[in-house]
Amino acid sequence: MNNISRQTLISSILVIAALAFLVHRSRSFTSRPAPVERVWPVMGTFASVTLRGDHADQLDAVCDQTAAMLETVNSLMSVYIPDSEISRLNATTEAVPVSPLTRQMLERTRHYTQGTGGAFDATVLPLVRLWGFSGGKTPETLPSDAMIEAARRLMGIDKLELGENSARMTAPGTTLDLGGIAKGFAVDRCYEAVIAGNAVNAIFNLGGNIRVHGKATPDRPWRIGVQDPFEQGETLGFLALDSGMALATSGNYERFVMINGKRYTHIIDPRTGRPVEGMAGVTILSESATETDALSTALFVIGIEDAAATLARFPGSEAIMVPDRRPTEIYLSKGMQAKFVPHPEYRNAIRRLPE
């Protein structure tokens, strides 16, 4: 969570730029004060807070609260911090004391692993490193079936045992990496910490994991652009977010390795041990940033055909899915059809997710 890659930097800037553009459009027909924003690096990406212009005097206080919560989550859960609770948990098969915040995260992690049939799995780190991500060395040739199966044997959320104030990995070599859910979880904790004592109108953004409160103006909701996975800096359309809603996107453009001249995404299917092929981008809308983070990865793995069945297990969450082929096709879940506004050039690209 500490090293900021060039691609992560680009992706984060694109999200922030899209936010700025849409917020500007929301205020362009009025004389109201311009929104204010602050951006800073944290957790291997960028965080930003955007406040409605009439709340500009609260920016320092809101950013201080947000930064403090992000630092707390990072210090407890980063695998890059040797004495974090997750690092200590990964280092032994003995029970390790954990804070209520970490235990809550571990409960959520197990919930989404089980609910997605293992398409999201926080024990996937051995496979991720085998393919050259998260500190692993990029392989010169494709990993063999034997290598993949050896890594898969180390996996399994069933090897996580939770006590009332402790946690334990029951098998040597099984480790947790919460990178696929921690940013969403952190955004939810920031949102709760700030909104509990303040009715500020705001966007909380951590590396594209977004949650909003209030409205962009008294009569306009916050509008967030949906990244075009094929064109950096471009969007497919936008979503108007009601107060409290969250949004996250997973894409094959974020991080990848080249092996034998072919590009492989960083999103690994825990069920096969191989990088996902066939998907370009997945955006999830939900009432929880934790859920959008986990489900954007899970549905990227699951694919279009079985996405609706998975979403049915998470009422209130909706999806936009873009397969990795041209011309661009944009698949929407049933509830997303009334929420997503595509740009005119993509109106004929809209499809319904198969039930």
* Domains delineated in the chain: 6-75+181-341 (3.10.520.10), 77-180 (1.10.3980.10)
Instruction: Give CA separation, 112 vs 161, 178, 222, 310, 317, in Å.
Output: 16, 12, 28, 11, 13
Question: pTM here?
Answer: 0.90
Q: Which two tokens stand for residue 13?
A: 């800037």
What is the structure's pLDDT at 337? Answer: 94
Structure tokens belonging to residue 208: 């594209």
pLDDT tens digits, one per residue of 228-262: 999 988 999 999 999 999 999 998 877 888 998 89
180, 207, 185, 184: which is closest to 298 by C-alpha? 180
143-177: pLDDT as tens digits: 999 999 999 999 999 999 999 999 999 999 999 98
Q: Are 320 and 275 in contact (CB under 8 A)?
A: no
Tell me which DSSP letter residue 238 carries. E
Which strands make up the sheet holding 160-162, listed edge to edge? 96-97, 166-169, 160-162
Which residues are registered as beta bridge partners of 200?
Answer: none
Give the model confidence (pLDDT) of 35-45 as tens digits. Answer: 999 999 999 89
Q: How far apart are CA 282 and CA 300, in angstroms?
A: 6
Instruction: With cut-offs at 50, 70 and 90, classify the pLDDT of residue 32.
Output: confident
Q: What share of the chain is helix, strand, coil (3-state, %, to 5)?
A: 35, 25, 40
Higher pLDDT, 113 or 6: 113
Model pLDDT, residue 31: 63
Amino acid at 345: E
Instruction: State the burial class of residue 254 (Cβ atoms within 10 Å of its Cβ: 0-12, 13-18, 19+).
Output: buried
